[in-house]
Each structure stands twice: as C-alpha cells, then as structure tokens.
C-alpha cells in the first residue's frame, strides 16, 4: 500500500519529508478503505486544499467558550474567513485560543487570527454571538433570558451604533428567539441581518428519523421551524431520504419526535457545564460560510418576521436563503397544524419577553389568515 508522506518545513529554504505511520484497516485487501484513510490523514496532517476566494472578517463574541472556540476552530479548518477576531471577557483564555489557532496556519490556507474587542466586531462582515452565563443543571433555555440579554445588549449597542450596520449577526446564545427579537427591536439593525442559530433542531430531527428508519443520518433531510426549544415545529410532510419523499408511520414519527424533544432535557440533566460544541461549531461555521458565499442552499434560521407565516414583529425559526445581506425568508406551504404551532411559538417568545420586561410595549404577533 501507498505510504503517506507529508512535507514539512525544516527551516530556511530546506524541506524535510517525514513519514507518517498509518493505522490500516485490519481486513486484508480493503484497498478502498485504506485509500480513504490515506486521504483523511492527508487532510488532517498535510496542507488542506480547503480554501475560499472571498475576503471576509469574522468576529466571535464569546470566543473563549465552548461554542465560540469550536466555531473558530471549524472556520480555520474549513478556510472560511480571512480574518478571525476573538472577543471574550476571559482575555487570557482567548489568548491561548489565538496562539493555538495561529499554528494551524502551518497546515491550512492563510488566515489571520487575533484577540479583539467589540470595536473590531463592528467592522466584521459576520459577528457570531455566543457569549453567555455558564450552563446550569436542569435549566431550560428560557431561564437564561434576562442574564444573556444583558450580555447581548453590549454587543447589540456597539453594532447598532453604526447607522445601517452592513454586517450579519448570528446569535447562538440561548434563548435564541427572544434574544434575536429583542436585539432587532433595541438596535434597529435590519431584521434580515440579525439571525438566530437554530440548525441543531433540524439536525436532531434528522438523527431521530434516521434512527427510526434505520438509515444513515446524512441520507435524511427534514426540517424544524418555530422556537428553538420546547415550542419548536418539526415538519413531517416534507421528509426525504436520499432525495425521495418518505412518509413515517405513527411509531416512527413518535420515536423521532421523542428523540428531538428529549435531547435537551437529557443533556442538562447530567449537569455538565458544556453544551453541544462540536455540532454547533460545525453548524454555525457552515452558516457563516453560507452567509459569506451566498448560494441556493436553504437554512433554518430565527429572524424577526414581517407577516411571513402570519407573524409580525417576533423572531422564530423559518426557512431562508443566506448571503452577505443576511437572510431572505422562504414562504413554505405548511400543514394547518404546523401553521398554528408557528403562531404559538411566536406567542411563547413574546410571553417570555413580557415576563422580563412587561412595560416595554412590545407588539404581539398579529393574526393572519391562511398558511
Ligand atoms: N443555538 C444553539 O443551537 C446552541 C447550541 C449550543 C449552545 N448554545 C448556547 O450558546 C451559549 C454559549 O454556550 P457555550 O457552551 O459556548 O458556553 P460557555 O460558558 O462555554 O461560553 C460562554 C462564553 O461567554 C463569555 N462571556 C460571558 N459574558 C461575556 C461578556 N459580557 N462579554 C464577552 N464574553 C462574555 C464567557 O467568558 C464564556 O467564555 C449558551 O447560551 C448556550 O446555551 C446554543
């Protein structure tokens, strides 16, 4: 079998070649598997070819934390963004991430990474917001609203101070939908540019469906809209496997729903102070790449609606196209029960906001006929 050689710099102009030992598949003659490992090892250990031809500055607020650092690492590995600016109040931890990430420049396409402040975020094309108070055992996402909103207001104020801020803000911190709603309202940033990260719900539904159907998860396409939490709206009318429509029987559907709804309580019951950093890091970095490059892909994202899905003035998850101008809502035909649950999701978001600030005069979602 072909040995893998990786070229490394030996100093000055000379180049040394180091031999990397590979773990081979145990079954003899499995050449395809061995070659796949060769390729994977090449990608991990050699210079990756992943790259981009766009000049993009990305700031991550909350970058010392689990989500922020995972996003930074994934962006660096996938060649997304020319400049990464890491912002967090834990400056020493940020500095270790910077020193760690900048060494990746020996292996991937050139990019800059440095510690920064909210002043840098203002100049970024995309700002990922994942700053938050630490997770707590058995706590629903909504419980963090007042605390995380107080943190989010700092970032919102900095971005909102720039008239017609031209960047895109991706909010990962929980609870996503009330934070997006409030950030849009209080900063005046264009609603298309304040987006909540809700991809994980669709990821979990896809995984639950895959388990129920006994297929590999990457073959499943399925969508969750609505609130990022208990009031999410899983869609079963447009599930696909390998691009073909699939109808789940009641037991399969119940099993997939249970996986989706029990995922978060099961996690926080453990009381481990970490969130789903790998899934979210990958998802957020992919979303940032979609914003930077545009294209035809559909994304679920939370954004303040203006009549779409019968909702006005409140953010919930909807299907959208992403590009440098943010998100454009796609108006899907939904079954009547899903349509109604979208409205209930928006009501839930409004009620949560009203509980922490009853006097702020927020508008409730308006009624709208049809779906
Ligand atoms: N939307 C999703 O699908 C999704 C998925 C996972 C986690 N989350 C949410 O993302 C948030 C972050 O999760 P995490 O695992 O990274 O948490 P974490 O505790 O590891 O990181 C949070 C970071 O925010 C920083 N921070 C706090 N206040 C700050 C301030 N005023 N300015 C700058 N930085 C500040 C902290 O120092 C910390 O480094 C949480 O709210 C979590 O619930 C959302």
Please, what is the Cα angle at 68 between 65 and 69, to 5 degrees?
80
How far apart CA 275 and CA 135 sit, in angstroms, is 8
Q: How far apart are CA 179 and CA 356, in angstroms?
A: 12
- Cβ < 6 A, ligand 1 pocket: 61-62, 64-68, 88-90, 130-132, 134-135, 144, 148, 151, 154, 172-174, 176, 197, 200, 228, 274-277, 280
Mutation pick for ligand 1 pocket among 59, 61, 63, 67 (CB with most ligand atoms within 8 Å): 67
The SS3 of residue 6 is strand
Atom of ligand 1 nearest to the CA of 174: 41
pLDDT, tens digit (0-9, with 9 covering 90-100), for 113-156: 999 999 999 999 999 999 999 999 999 999 999 999 999 999 99
Nearest by Cα to 144 from 356, 362, 365: 356
pLDDT score of 358: 66
What pLDDT shows up at residue 295? Answer: 84
Instruction: Summarize pLDDT for 200-237 with one digit per residue, the tens.
Output: 999 999 999 999 999 999 999 999 999 999 999 999 99
* Tens of pLDDT, residues 18-35: 222 333 333 434 444 434
Best mutation site among 60, 62, 91, 136 for ligand 1 pocket (most ligand atoms within 8 Å of CB): 62
**How many angstroms does the Cα of residue 134 sit away from the middle of ligand 1?**
7
How far apart are alpha carbons 17 and 350 in whole angstroms?
61
Ligand 1 atom, smallest distance to 68 CA: 16
b or e along 317-332 (b: 16 or more beta carbons within 10 Å of the residue's beta carbon)? bbbbbbebebbebeeb
Q: What is the mean pLDDT of residues 5-9?
A: 24
pTM to 2 decimal places = 0.86
CA–centroid distance, residue 95 to ligand 1 (Å): 17
In this structure, of 8-12, 110-114, 117-121, the range with the lowest mean pLDDT score is 8-12
Share of the chain above pLDDT 70, in %: 82
CA of 11 to the centre of ligand 1 (A): 40
Ligand 1 atom 11, closest CA: 173
pLDDT computed for residue 360 by the predictor: 53
CA of 191 to the centre of ligand 1 (A): 22
CA nearest ligand 1 atom 9, residue: 173
Set out the domains of the chain in order of their start, with CATH numbers: 57-197 (3.40.50.720), 199-356 (3.90.110.10)
User: How many other C-beta atoms can be found within 10 angstroms of the C-beta atom of residue 29?
Assistant: 8
């Amino acid at each position: 079998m072909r040995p893998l050689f990786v070229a490394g710099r030996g100093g000055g102009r000379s180049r040394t070649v180091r031999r990397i030992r590979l773990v081979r598949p145990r079954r003899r003659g499995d050449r395809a598997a061995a070659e796949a490992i060769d390729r994977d090892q090449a990608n991990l250990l050699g210079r990756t070819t992943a790259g981009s031809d766009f000049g993009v500055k990305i700031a991550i607020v909350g970058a010392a934390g689990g989500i922020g650092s995972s996003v930074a690492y994934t962006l660096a590995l996938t060649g997304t963004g020319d400049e990464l600016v890491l912002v967090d109040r834990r400056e020493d931890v940020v500095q270790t991430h910077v020193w760690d990430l900048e060494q990746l420049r020996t292996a991937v396409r050139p990019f800059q990474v440095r510690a920064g402040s909210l002043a840098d975020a203002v100049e970024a094309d995309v700002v990922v917001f994942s700053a938050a108070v630490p997770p707590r055992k058995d706590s629903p996402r909504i419980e963090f609203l007042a605390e995380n909103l107080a943190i989010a207001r700092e970032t919102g104020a900095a971005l909102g101070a720039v008239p017609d801020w031209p960047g895109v803000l991706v909010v990962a911190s929980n609870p996503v939908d009330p934070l997006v709603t409030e950030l849009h309202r209080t900063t005046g940033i264009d609603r298309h540019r304040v987006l909540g990260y809700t991809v994980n719900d669709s990821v979990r539904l896809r995984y639950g469906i895959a388990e129920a159907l006994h297929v590999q998860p990457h073959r499943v396409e399925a969508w969750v809209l609505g609130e990022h939490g208990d009031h999410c709206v899983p869609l079963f009318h447009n599930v696909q496997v390998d691009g073909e429509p699939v109808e789940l029987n009641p037991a399969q559907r119940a099993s997939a729903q249970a996986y989706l709804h029990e995922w978060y309580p099961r996690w926080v019951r453990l009381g481990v102070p970490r969130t789903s950093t790998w899934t979210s890091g990958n998802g957020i970095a992919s979303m940032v790449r979609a914003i930077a490059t545009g294209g035809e892909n559909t994304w679920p994202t939370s954004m303040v609606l203006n009549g779409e899905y019968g909702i006005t003035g409140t953010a919930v998850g909807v299907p959208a196209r992403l590009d440098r101008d943010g998100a454009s809502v796609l108006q899907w035909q939904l079954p009547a029960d899903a349509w109604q649950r979208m409205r209930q999701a928006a009501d839930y978001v409004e009620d949560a906001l009203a509980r922490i600030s009853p006097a702020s005069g927020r508008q409730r979602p308006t009624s709208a006929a049809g779906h």
